[in-house]
Chain A
Amino acid sequence: MSEAVAQQPTRTPAELVALVEALIFVADEPVTSKVLAEVLDEDKGAIAAAVEQLQSEYEARDSGLQIREIAGGWQIATRTEFHEEVRKFLKTRPSAKLSLASLETLAVIAYKQPVTVPEILEIRGVQSATSIKTLLDKRLIVAKGRKEAVGRPIQYGTSKEFLIQFGLKDLNDLPSFEDFEDLVQ
């Protein structure tokens, strides 16, 4: 038994912060604390503290970047106030906005998921086939099995992409549906 025993990494807190930063940077999508903890062989508490430290460091020096919690993970992104310059550099235009009908359909799916096409029709009072296709194409919604009802209609729900595109930590991050009631009346 000459093999070295897997040793607990001895890192200073500052090193851990730097490592977490490196990993969040290379990840192409939000990386969860769980994954960071596994990869770095640290407990989740240490990771959470490191992320928090990283966030305050970015803020303290008015960085052009920010650490955001999106879709249950961490992401490095540019700060909103630099969007004009970033866009100019990237030579991109804001992507096409969803139509009113698609946004409504998406809202129904987000709050009623899993939901079928007839149920969406009932709420919106209008056929939503085109909107559903658009949302599927944009991968904002996904089929989530079939409902055990006549015709076994497909049920739809929102995707991880939805969380990412709308800057949500998770579905609970959506404003509560009951809150809209106060706005209406």
Chain B
Amino acid sequence: MSETPEQFTFDFHKEKAEILRASDDLQIKIGDFAGPLDLLLFVIRQEQANIFDIPIARITEKYLEYIQVMKKLDIAVAADFLVMAAQLIEIKSKMLLPRDPLAADDEEAEDPRQELVDRLLEYEKFKTAAGMLYERSTIEQAVFHRGPIETDGESAEVDATVFDLLTVFQQMIARRADEIKMEIEREEISLADMIKNLKRRIFEEKELSLMRFFEEMRSKQELVTAFIAVLEIVRTEAVRLTQKQTFGDVILRSVTTDAH
């Protein structure tokens, strides 16, 4: 028997993992197992075992063999795979223990495998659901529609990131740079006051345009304070940032009403 390395690939259309013998191609794709439950299901299928009556000793042995192969092939075996190995061994040892003779007969002793079986069945449903999503996305890729164009104002709300915030802020700074000709000393507003002010505005107006809020600031220092206040309020309060288009204005919105 030649020592050809085994190649593992996953094909949703076959709905199970498959081992291919790779002749000269050393690319091993064992990492394609989505996780320990996936590998375990594969082993059970491979051994043609009944999922409701798993021969735990044999399956554990095979499972550990696969982990060994993964290690030998220098694939970093994720800790989760080892956790599953430990659980299998634990179940195996529980199965070896003699039944408690004093235990009531009518109360059937819990099968140590039960929890694992439940998890496997639940997991397999999600795996099938993943396959369904895969097929849907494949079909969707054959359908084309008009993409958003720059002038589309009514596009979907998407969550704005900190970078979007920064972009808005930078645009403001750039605009300010031309406008501010002379610095006049003003009474400085503290961060605490700014946050209080911002909170009140969001509460009153429900939706606050970040661009507009920044525009009200009278100096670079106030702008910076306002920016920090926005970051702070997003971090601590039930406030959501939304943006209608990429590089567009960011809207601050109170979400306290649907927080419960």
Contacts and interface: CB of A to CB of B under 8 A. Distances in A.
Given A108-B126, A110-B129, A166-B133, A78 B144 contact: yes
Interface string A82-113: 01001100100011011011011011101100
Contacts of A143: 159
Given A29-B155, A124-B34, A125-B37, A97 B134 contact: yes
Contacts of A175: 129, 132
Interface stretch (B18-26, B117-125, B171-179, B192-200): B117-125
B140 A28 contact: no
Contact of A184 (B10, B124, B140, B144): B124
A125 B155 contact: no
Contact of A123 (B126, B132, B154): B126
A145 B256 CA distance: 10
A29 B142 CA distance: 17
Interface string A124-166: 1111000000000001001101000000000000011100011
A145 B140 contact: no
A100 B8 CA distance: 13
Contacts of B136: 166-168
Residue of B34, B36, B140 with highest tally of chain A CB at under 10 A: B34
B148 A29 contact: yes
B141 A94 contact: yes
Q: Which 5 A-B pairs have the closest CB atoms?
A: A126-B35, A83-B142, A107-B129, A77-B145, A103-B130
Nearest to B87: A125
Interface string A39-56: 000000000000000000
The winner among A100, A123, A142, A168 for most chain B CB atoms within 10 A is: A100
